[in-house]
A and B are shown apart, each in its own frame.
Chain A
Amino acid sequence: MNRLRAAAASLAVVSVTLALPTTAMAQSGAAERRALAQATELQRSGNMAEARAVLERYLDQEPTSASALVQLAQLVTIQGRPGDVLVRAERAVANGNPSPMLRQVWIRALTDAGQSDSALAAAQAWTLEQPGSTLAHGEVAEVLVRRGDMAAAVAALVSGRDATGDPTVFAQELGDLYARLGDPAATAREWVVVLGWGDAGVAAVETRLQAPGANYEILVGALRTELVDGLKIFTVLRSAAFLANRLVEEEWSLEIAETIAERVPGDTRVAFLRDYAADARNHDLNRNAAWAAEQLGSDSADPDESLRWRRLAAEWSLAAGDGPGATSAFEAIVREAPAGSEAHRMATSSLFSQRVRENPVAAEPLLRSFTRQYRDAEEDRAKMGVTLSAEWIRRGDLERAGRALDLSGQIAVDPTANALIEGQRGWLALYSGRPKTALGHLEVAALIPVGEPQARTEAIASVDAIGRADSTEAAIVGEALFAVERGDTQAAVGTVTNALARIPASEARPALLILIAQRLERSGHLASAATVYRAVVQSFPQAPEAAPGMLALARSLAGKEPSAARQWLKKLILDHPSSALAPVARRLLSELEGRVPSSSSSS
């Protein structure tokens, strides 16, 4: 087994392999092709001895058939008897004027048979005979690698490079040997040559960096240094940028791309930036893609093309989580695009979304302008109005929240827009302590069968709960929900445990509590949500609303207290067997008990 591993490793180091050259294939006669095909078929069906016999019979007739000899060499290696091909290889070479492939088979057979001195002598003789042959120098190195003498193998390849007069030959092999010798700077030097080959070079270097056991950090560091220090041609830098993308090295990739963009003029620069943007996107490097798109947008003399690139820059900045970058791109579009155009509308709306959270006052003029220019875009206007309103609610200003809805203008026909505005007016009324008014608005929102499912579900649930509650109870719930929206969870939970607890519970109480708990959960306040859910399941265990409460509690406990979570799930299944949540509880129970793979597992 170790022998096999060593052989595999040596073949990986020096890539002058036993692959069948196409010229040899072309020269093969019909008899040879038949023999090779027959041997392949026998080998595939497991009949190794017969396959070998077929090849040997053919070689008895045609002892210099390189293809048959190569196939025999592969077969005897699988059989664990690599030296068995030696006699035939020697005979073939002795026939005079051997092909390079025959020489390779012979030299490797010598090594396999433990005669590495003879193998080395044969390879060196070949180099003397044909000093310009890369195969010959490669074989010398191959023998030395298999003897474990890496330094001598390096010397052989460097000498071969000099002899051939091509400074790029053996770059990959030398890179590998330097890496094995622990010389990252020399490795990087060779890899820079390899990168000059274009895409093939990128793949070769990436494979080596990602190989198990590769000293990634050190080798990447050396490569970065080598690229900075040396005066590199465009092809190398371009390959290095794409290599950095493949390695998801965001900063390094951008650094190289900026260097290229500075140094390369005209169409070459544009072509590079286009390719780079696409490649960066393919590797989820959105910030880099956005940078390239921004460059292309600035460079382009064509207004339409410029806008297209700026839109992409904004979109990719958002995908990268780069708010300022996106804002800057949207501002540029709003400046450059004609008012009333699709690009202008989209950019204004997006810029509004970017601004609203940072500064709702600064977002108001944008909404006003949008409402004036795009009266037909009712859904967009409604969404923007609700977004601004929600931001004012979050800041505790219900009056400005109401005015924000007015800024979005009249909604004439669009039912989705109407549902959005009515829903928001309903919540505002509830937060302001006017449950009857709230009910009227929320009923309209709940009745319109469009819009976001979660918002509509909440509207329907709240209409049902508020409709059954008495007005004092509903007003207190509105107060609690407002506190949740402001992020004041203490006040929200305090309202539940104090104000609500002091008044008699209507039949709607569990449903009202669930509304509060779900809001807390959606806002990420899981501990507070759990407190309210617990109040539901403990005070109203038989109410239908206890089932979602139990499920939510189980979910919140699943990580740290799985046995408690399992108890809640079993209680849900047994106490509410016909609840739509019972199958969900069984699923979660199975996951907690390890009986099915977790929904979040990936293997």
Chain B
Amino acid sequence: MRARVRFLSSRVPLLAAAVLGLVWAPSARAQVLLIPMDGSQANHLRAYGLVFNAVQRGARAEWLLNYRYGSFLLPDGASVRQQAAIMGVTTESLDGGRLASLRADIENSNMDAVPLEKAPRIAVYTPPNSSPWDDAVTMALEYAGIEYDRVWDPEVLSGILEDYDWLHLHHEDFTGQYSKFYLAYAGAPWLQEEVSRNEGVAAEFGYSNVPALKKAVARRIADYVRQGGFLFAMCTATETLELALAAHSADIAAAFADGSPPAADASDQMDWDATLAFGRAELVLDATISAFSDIDGHQVNTPWRRSLASFELFDFSAKIDPVPSMLTQSHERVLADFYGLTTSFRRDRVKPGVTVLAEEPGSGITKYLHGSLGDGSFTFLGGHDPEDPQHLIGDQPTDLELHRHSAGYRLILNNVLYPAAKKKALRT
């Protein structure tokens, strides 16, 4: 099992870290490539892929937090230049003098240089037949050229998550109610296929119904985090994962899913100590309403849906809070909001100790959260697709070639890259 990890504290002076050999410090004569992440960058999203793949091939990179909106340093070389040209990523060559000046700027400002040394092994939890375009993260990974594996319930239950450093969940409904589309889309072939597939897996692994299967999968995922994994969840996976964990002793699923109606007092039976991020939520038990609880601040598929506004990323100290700082690197601080089956998170449902990374100012609604559980950590981002404010079933897929500078997609890719940051192993 993975060792417990902590990020190298940036309170260690940069010079001391360099002396200890913890920070990559090229000689003054060596040429390095700066991957700028400000307005001069021709393709922000592919820049992450360039850095990720270089690190995967053994290069030691640095993430320059807050320097030109989160730029990167890579060792110069024909291969990386060629790759950058093919990917359309802007690079700048730095000589020793410019590099020294850059480091001085970082030392004297709210900036830091975080070494990136080992590319994480990535798993995406998704049904076997789903298209990459169903999920913003797989779209971002595909577009940036970052390799990943697909896993689903059978693999999770078989313990495969131990092989991965980073796990992504998207619009899975861990309450086992098929996103409550059951009544509205009862005749749709895709839903019939989804029901059949889920029921098949439940039967194969000896669970009496799909909600029971999903609860077991949710527990495995929580265990994965406790043991040191990085979890990134979006859309309805955030909320339903939490509900599935809290409902270990409660029937919260509609009769169509498990053959029995939900417990009338299901909200009172929830065990919020079992969750990662949320607590004290009231459930939506009506099978005809495609919403799960009052955790979501927008409730997109209900008559009382909240209109979209914008959300603002918080500023963090790069040297004191490197992780939240990494997760919020962006060339835009205010982003247009986007719906998902779970769009946002009510602040009064967020547990103490969870860091809010972005919120809709003045509304009591958060969008982007980060927290720790055991030896691992999790990040939740509400909404389905940062470049499609209201994605509908059957809509055209988003073409990221048209959104090369998407700040929303940068948030996703920040999450992909941050487990590559240098870690210091500590004994538990």
Contacts and interface: CB of A to CB of B under 8 A. Distances in A.
A593 B399 CA distance: 14
Interface stretch (A40-48, A439-447, A488-496): A40-48
A583 B404 CA distance: 12
Contacts of B208: none
B85 interface: yes
A212 B187 contact: yes
A1 B142 CA distance: 37
Nearest to B292: A46
Contact of A596 (B195, B302, B399): B399
A583 B88 contact: yes
Nearest to B145: A595
B426 to A, nearest CB: 38
B341 interface: no
Interface stretch (A74-82, A216-224, A538-546): A74-82
Contact of B286 (A78, A582, A601): A78
A321 interface: no
A587 B401 contact: yes
B394 interface: yes
Contacts of A5: 186
Given A43-B286, A81-B261, A601 B397 contact: yes
Interface string A560-603: 00000000001001100100001100110110011111000111
A578 B170 CA distance: 39
B320 interface: no
Nearest to A5: B186
B143 A590 contact: yes
A49 interface: yes
A44 B289 contact: yes
Nearest to B132: A594
A46 B87 contact: no
A448 interface: no
B284 interface: yes
B261 A586 contact: no
Given A570-B86, A597-B397, A48 B256 contact: no
A601 B283 CA distance: 39
B401 A590 contact: yes
Interface string A414-434: 000000000000000000000
B303 interface: yes
A594 B146 CA distance: 12
Contacts of B249: none
Output the residue of B144, B145, B264, B286 with the most chain A CB within 10 A: B286
A13 to B, nearest CB: 15
Given A1-B256, A49-B264, A603-B397, A78 B85 contact: no
B189 interface: yes
Contact of B85 (A46, A573, A596): A573
B303 A44 contact: yes
Given A46-B283, A212-B189, A574 B401 contact: no
Given A8-B186, A44-B289, A80 B142 contact: no
B259 interface: yes
B185 to A, nearest CB: 12
B154 to A, nearest CB: 22
A597 B132 CA distance: 9
Nearest to B395: A603
A589 B397 contact: no
A80 B86 contact: no
B88 A44 contact: no
Interface in B249-291: 254-257, 259-262, 264-265, 282-289, 291
Contacts of B132: 594
A589 B401 CA distance: 11
Contacts of A587: 401
Interface in B63-107: 82, 85-88
A577 B85 contact: yes
A586 B259 CA distance: 52
B286 A46 contact: yes
A574 B86 contact: yes
A46 B86 contact: no
A6 interface: no
B205 interface: no
A602 B396 contact: yes
Contacts of B256: 1, 4
Nearest to A597: B397
Nearest to A583: B88
Interface string A21-62: 000000000000000000000011111110000000000000
B284 A80 contact: no
A1 B259 contact: yes
Nearest to A572: B86
Contacts of A593: 145
A78 B287 contact: yes
A574 B399 contact: no
B156 interface: no
Contacts of B288: 78
B286 A44 contact: yes
A48 B254 CA distance: 11
A136 to B, nearest CB: 29
A595 B86 CA distance: 13
Contacts of B260: 80
B133 interface: yes
Interface string B163-200: 00000000000000000000000110100000100000
A595 B404 CA distance: 13
B92 to A, nearest CB: 15
Interface in B127-157: 131-133, 142-145
Contacts of A574: 82, 85-86
Given A48-B285, A48-B286, A596-B400, A573 B86 contact: yes
A41 to B, nearest CB: 10
Given A45-B284, A48-B261, A586-B88, 7 more contacts: A44-B304, A48-B264, A570-B86, A583-B88, A593-B145, A597-B397, A602-B396
16 contacts: A44-B304, A46-B284, A46-B289, A46-B291, A48-B262, A48-B285, A49-B264, A78-B254, A80-B261, A573-B85, A586-B87, A587-B401, A590-B401, A596-B399, A602-B396, A603-B397
Query: What 7 A-B pairs have minimum CB-CB distances, sorted nearest first?
Result: A80-B255, A46-B284, A49-B264, A79-B261, A80-B261, A46-B285, A597-B397
Interface of A: 1, 4-5, 8, 43-49, 78-81, 212, 570, 573-574, 577, 582-583, 586-587, 589-590, 593-597, 601-603
